[in-house]
């Protein structure tokens, strides 16, 4: 697979045991975090005791460093992009706690809907044997950027997870609002690329990225939507006027209508 395509960013590319990450100097956060997730890896992760402590990534220059103190008292969780629950051994789990793999997330998202997305993707990999996963944040360029800490770490408007299933073959993406009452939506990789200006899978044909695979429902979350491609009956909370207005504003500000 080719690396996700990003334009006009000063970045640092870092390789770890089981995932790679591209960090932006502008946000001091990952633009994307990518993994090749297999059924065997997930089984090994299940057998591995969960461990790990958040730590700055000393491979990065000071201009890209995030410190633990930036999060202290902020009210935001440190949200994994590539999740520790995907990592097959202790060393790899420890690497997933590097702050180069972390963005600010609300507690409601990180501990609810986002866990549901991660669980759904693991279920997909279990079913198919292997999926390629790219995860990242999205920012609202038309509003004053809210930040946290002395490092002025920008807080994403959304976090997203794009998946390529080579067996199907098929693609799709989960997009979640990073709010106190998060809502998640399934969309195409093509639409995601319009939203965040990152193509997670530049080597794939456009027609494959324009379609949405039959994706697993988001699991274990009171905030998340359960949705499969072709199902026109969305859940009631997704139809609410407030949610629709918020999403339309977000899509517009992130460039979906340009």
Tell me: the pLDDT tens digits for 112-133? 999 999 999 999 999 999 999 9
Name the pLDDT band for 52 (thresholds 50, 70, 90): confident
Hey, is 237 helix, strand or coil?
helix
The interaxial angle of helices 114-128 and 39-46, nearest 10 deg, is: 120
Domain annotation covers residue 26: yes
User: Going by C-beta distance under 8 Å and a sequence separation of 6 or more, which residues neighbour residue 144?
Assistant: none
pLDDT value at 234 more than 60: no
CA-to-CA distance for 34 and 187, rounded, in angstroms?
19
pLDDT tens digit string along 159-210? 999 999 999 999 999 999 999 989 899 999 999 999 899 999 999 999 999 9
Query: Domain containing 129 — which CATH number?
Result: 3.40.570.10
258 falls within a domain = no
d(CA 173, CA 215): 9
Give me the domain span that covers residue 122: 16-224+240-253
For residue 92, give the 3-state DSSP assignment.
helix
Distance set, CA 226 to CA 67, 74, 154, 186 (Å) = 36, 31, 29, 9
**What is the set of active-site residues?**
80
Q: Is 123 within the bounds of a domain? A: yes
Q: Is 110 one of the annotated binding-site residues? A: yes
Please tell me the distance from the alpha carbon of residue 41 to that of residue 37, in angstroms, as a whole number.
Answer: 7
Put simply, whether the predicted model's pTM sits higher than 0.95 gets the answer no
The total domain count for the chain is 1
């Amino acid at each position: 697979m080719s690396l996700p395509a990003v334009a006009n960013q000063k970045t640092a590319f870092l390789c770890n045991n089981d995932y790679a990450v591209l960090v932006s100097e502008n946000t001091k956060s990952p633009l994307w975090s990518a993994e090749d997730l297999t059924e065997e890896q997930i089984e090994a992760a299940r057998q591995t005791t969960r461990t790990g402590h958040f730590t700055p990534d000393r491979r990065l220059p000071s201009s890209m460093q995030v410190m633990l103190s930036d999060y202290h008292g902020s009210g935001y969780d440190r949200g994994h992009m590539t999740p520790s629950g995907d990592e097959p051994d202790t060393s790899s789990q420890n690497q997933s706690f590097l702050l180069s793999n972390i963005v600010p997330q609300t507690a409601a998202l990180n501990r609810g809907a986002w866990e549901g997305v991660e669980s759904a993707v693991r279920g997909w990999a279990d079913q198919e044997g292997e999926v390629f996963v790219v995860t990242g944040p999205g920012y609202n360029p038309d509003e004053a950027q809210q930040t946290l800490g002395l490092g002025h770490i920008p807080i994403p408007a959304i976090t997203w997870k794009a998946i390529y299933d080579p067996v199907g073959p098929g693609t799709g993406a989960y997009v979640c609002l990073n709010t106190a009452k998060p809502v998640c939506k399934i969309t195409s990789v093509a639409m995601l690329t319009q939203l965040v200006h990152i193509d997670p899978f530049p080597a794939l044909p456009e027609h494959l990225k324009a379609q949405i695979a039959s994706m697993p429902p988001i699991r274990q979350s009171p905030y998340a939507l359960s949705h499969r491609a072709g199902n026109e009956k969305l859940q009631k909370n997704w139809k609410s006027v407030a949610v629709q207005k918020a999403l339309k504003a977000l899509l517009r500000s992130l460039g979906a209508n340009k």
